Amino acid sequence: MPLSDASVYDCIVDNGENLFKIQIKSTIKLPAKDTITTIQVPLQNSKRVYSKENVDYFAVYVYHFDGFFIFKNNGNMKSVRLSLVGKYSKNFNNFVFERDSQSYS
């Protein structure tokens, strides 16, 4: 977690070789009636601009899809259209892992 609300990013991910600054967003929006499967999510507003130097990746939780879309910040993204069948579909993860049939106690 960031040390303060003034921090540009929300968390840091360490992959063992690099540290990545992550900005986390979420939305409860539903798809527009004309698109059915796509949700428009604002990433930046007049209060905060997320440059590539300040934020490496966005992690956007979409309640409608029950999972995260995680994608690299290109430095000029104002908003993004997210869908399970669109451009960012490969960036979707709901972090559900299959477990073998043994029960763990």
Sorted by where each begins, the domain ranges of the chain are 11-93
Q: What are the DSSP calls for 43-83, one per residue? A: --BTTB---TTT-SEEEEEETTTTEEEEEE--S--SEEEE-
Convert the pLDDT of each residue in 64-105 to its tens digit: 999 999 999 999 889 999 999 888 999 999 877 655 444 444
Among the residue ranges 9-18, 23-32, 93-102, the one predicted with the least confidence is: 93-102
The pTM for the full model equals 0.81
